[in-house]
Amino acid sequence: MQEAPTIFIICGPTAIGKTAFAIELAQALGTEIISADSRQCYQELGIAVAKPSVQELAIVPHHFINSHSIHESVNAGVFEQYALQKAAELFQQHRQIVMVGGTGLYIKAFTEGMDEMPSIAPAIRAQVVKDYEQNGLAWLQQQIQLHDPAFWMQSEQQNPQRLMRALEFKLSTGDSILNFRKAEKKHRPFKIIKIGLELPREVLNQRINLRVDRMVAAGLIQEAKALVPFQNNNALQTVGYQELFAHFNGEISEAMAIEQVKQHTRQYAKRQMTWFKKEASIFWMNAAKLSVEQVLELES
């Protein structure tokens, strides 16, 4: 019987060095990479989502990078089907492949499958959307903290689409959306090895602050300005753009917007770690002392 192929999944918080290590690992294996990032798939986004550089993309073939437009609907279910099909194709040529990303829900969908969700009452959905449009993000955040504090603690707190989904779910079913993410894991025809990268909090925070400064120097403000016509698009409801849109709309200064990008990115990294630390199947490694050899030993 032929041995099942292996996918190495490199996960962890933003700015910890996942992209660079995934490329190093893929090079050593002579294989390709599937991205598990919910924003890097969009062609129109770049600096703010820390997309791999043109040079990095040329070193190793990447998939689910620049694969979709911000005008398309992309979610965990779409990613699950895309990644499973791409993995099947790549396993025809490689015994091992690499996945890398910080979107925990996307990785969960790929490795375990998506849960069946009950339908939401259309009237409740319409009311939540209407209330959000009238009262804004601060109101929506307050509602989630009030009605579903458990979801709030691990959610993308700047993402109104995710927050509205959770609120309408709670109001429609009386239960948290988190309680419907417990379905039986689906079988996958390959071996899964998850490697989590971690660093001391203060070190990671320094890396985040430095990366945001580099993003600004690379043209982040100009990139965001060009995307203003699409600021209400779901793909743009993310850290790095929302703060600058607030600046362009006259709500805060440029300096405050940049400081908020840093703050919100640090908070997002903390939520990512909360999500990943709940997974017992992840092998945790110090990102500063990581080696390809360490990771390959996990396969034996």
For 28-67, write each residue's pLDDT tens digit. 999 999 999 999 999 999 999 999 999 999 999 999 999 9
Choose the weakest-confidence range: 121-130, 279-288, 289-298.
Answer: 121-130
> Are 108 and 126 contained in the same domain?
no
Asked if residue 261 is part of any domain, the answer here is yes
Of 147, 162, 180, the residue that ends a domain is 180
- Asked whether residue 215 is assigned to any structural domain, the reply reads yes
**141 and 224 together in one domain:** no
Query: In terms of residue numbers, what domain contains 275?
Result: 6-114+183-297
Residue 14: both structure tokens together? 């933003």
| pLDDT band at residue 165 under the 50/70/90 scheme | confident
Whether the pLDDT of residue 1 is over 70: the answer is: no
Boundary residue ending a domain (163, 180, 197): 180
Same domain? 40 vs 172: no
CATH of residue 242: 3.40.50.300
| Bridge partners of residue 191, in order along the sequence | 6
Residue 142 has pLDDT above 80, yes or no: yes
Query: Is the Cβ–Cβ distance between 168 and 271 less than 8 Å?
Result: no
Is 96 part of a structural domain of the chain? yes
How do residues 102-119 score in pLDDT, each as one tens digit?
999 999 999 999 766 677
Q: What is the CATH number of the domain that holds 169?
A: 1.10.20.140
Say whether both 87 and 59 belong to one domain: yes
User: Pick the residue with more confidence: 148 or 13?
Assistant: 13
15 & 95 share domain: yes
**In the predicted model, is pLDDT for residue 181 greater than 70?**
no
* Dist CA 221 CA 244 (whole Å): 7
Nearest to residue 19, comparing CAs of 101, 86, 97? 101
Shared domain check, 97 and 212:
yes
* Cα–Cα–Cα angle for 258, 260, 266, rounded to 5 degrees: 110
User: 259 exposed, middle or buried (CB, 10 Å; 0-12, 13-18, 19+)?
Assistant: middle
Neighbours of 211 (CB within 10 A): 16
Last residue of one domain, picked from the residues 131, 151, 180: 180
Whether 79 and 175 share a structural domain: no
Q: Are residues 203 and 104 in the same domain?
A: yes
Q: Is pLDDT above 90 for 207?
A: yes
Looking at the fold, whether 192 and 293 belong to one and the same domain comes out as yes
CA nearest neighbour of 157 among 268, 36, 49? 268
Mean pLDDT score, 273-284: 94
Q: Which of 88-97, 127-136, 288-297 has the least mean pLDDT?
A: 127-136
Residue 196 three-state SS: strand
Q: Are 35 and 61 in contact (CB under 8 A)?
A: no
Give me the chain's average pLDDT, please.
Answer: 92
Please tell me whether residues 129 and 102 are part of one structural domain.
no
The verdict on 146 and 211 lying in the same domain is: no
Residue 291 in any domain: the answer is yes
pLDDT greater than 70 at residue 183: no
Measured in residues, the chain has a length of 300
234 pLDDT tier (thresholds 50, 70, 90): confident
Domain count, the chain: 2
Q: Is residue 1 part of a domain?
A: no
Q: Which single residue is written with the structure tokens 């995710």? A: 162
- Over residues 126-154, the mean pLDDT reads 87
User: What span, in angstroms and rounded, lies between the C-alpha atoms of 52 and 26?
Assistant: 14
Same domain, 164 and 176: yes
